[in-house]
Structure 1
């Protein structure tokens, strides 16, 4: 009995390093990735330049994402273990479906998403040096590879370092988006509302185009589930569970 208690006390656990601000920054950093800057144009094009339809699609994507985020918040507080979907699938369906999902996620889904984000980052960083012409593909790919390697090395070296980097980038992204929003509000306040006149007039997109527009919109909103992958090393959830037990 004493041996069993000793083994439980000596059990290795992950050190909690993510606080409330860092947890929020983690989610914001992923959501406010490359998609938020490139998807608006794609959604509008897929909507056949129909502003009203595009706005409805954006609103629907936001509602769907909010519903998903609330579901994951419930799962994260019910099962405070890292792993995200792998843990939930294993809990509900068993280890084999969980392994298949994790294998697919690691081999296909996550690398593809990371590649898109890195290439978009490289595109926006390199393009100012090549005004009036497309940026060279070789330089763009080399920059994307360098970015992925740098972020990966920082993640391997220290969780605190990557948390600091993500907090800095979150502040910068929020500042940039706030400037864009304020500029838009000022532009509307000056009476420039012509784009909203007859918003639903024009070509109506077909089902295929609406589906593609939804795909682009959901890509921009993606990332609300990332905190569940590292929920075990958050400090604020530990305090939450301690309060609920008392």
Structure 2
């Protein structure tokens, strides 16, 4: 069956990645031999998502016990934005793992496609903080993000272009959020998230060049470390909005 995106450029060969096979795993986990580090590192997304999911649940339970006396009350929309972001991260981990384990084109397309609305949700979150809840805004941002993957139909670097646009717009609006509701703590989280994003891009692009510097990068490759940076980016984005949300609710109460 021919799919719309079957001719989109994706990387589905182990040769594209710097990590070499781990023959030692052949007798224990043959399904993991090709790129174990690059595959298993994606569990970091699940861990980060679960962490902030639980952190939010704990805060909600605490404010429920405190009742109306709580100075950090979260609205249902606040919780919804955080929970959705957490689940986006949790689901992203298995998608990435499946892509590397199976090296199938359509899984690579799914991985790329899923990445865009993941970034778009951060934009939707920033707009929510700035303008309040709007179902139409969230639907529009998410819809445009999903449709933007069609850039891949027109150029081999269409996905990279769409992702770069997402990142630039997200950074712009997060700066606006920081200026309106930010604290020193949220600023630190924002800067850390930026470093995580930069590390993700740079290390991923340098994946096949780093082994020249040291053989270690044939096993714990640039792609592996880029995923560490990306997971940290997700962590600090959640921390940024967690702090911003609490500051925003405190400001409104005053």
TM-score range, shorter chain: under 0.3
> TM-score normalized by structure 1?
0.28
Ranked by relative contact order (alpha carbons within 8 Å, sequence separation 6 or more), the top structure is 1
Q: Which has the higher Rg, Structure 1 or Structure 2? A: 1
> TM-score normalized by structure 2?
0.27
